[in-house]
Amino acid sequence: MKDVAYIALGSNLGQREVFLAQARGAIAALPRTRVLGQTVVEETAPIGPVAQGPFLNQMIAIETELSPGELLTELHRIEAGAGRVRRARWGPRTLDLDIVLFEHQSVHEKGLTIPHPELSKRDFWLSELASLRSTRVD
C-alpha cells in the first residue's frame, strides 16, 4: 500500500550539512519510495538534559510502499552508515532520522509509535509538517 510518510532529519555532530544531504540521497534511493518534498534546513537548540551543540533539522515527505517497520529498519541502517552510535537518550548524534507521521497509518508497537510521541512538543516539527502538507505535490 502506498502512503505518505514524513521523516525528520537532524544532525549536531561533524559535518552536519553533509550528513543531512547524504541522508536525503539514501532515503530517495530506498526501494518503492520517492521524495515528494523537503523543508529548508534550520538550526535549532538541542532538546533534553544532555549538554550538546545545536542541531540542523529538516523534514522530508516521501511516498513509499514500505511498511512503517520496514522504513524504520532502513532509517536505522542509514543512521548507522553515518556513524550514528546510540548512547544517551537525546544525546549528540551524527544523524537522527525519525518517522514523524504517516498519512494513513498509525503504529503503537514496542520500539515504534506513529505519530511520533514527541510531535506535539516540537514546534519546528509542527511548522515543517504544516509546510510540507500545504505545498506537497503528489
Catalytic positions are 84, 93, 96, 98
Instruction: Write out the three cell numbers for 106.
Output: 498509525
Give the closest residue to 8 by CA, choosing from 137, 123, 136. Answer: 123
Integer CA distances (angstroms), 18 to 42, 61, 86, in order: 14, 19, 20
Location of C-alpha cell 519546528: 124
SS3 123: helix
Cell, residue 49: 538534559
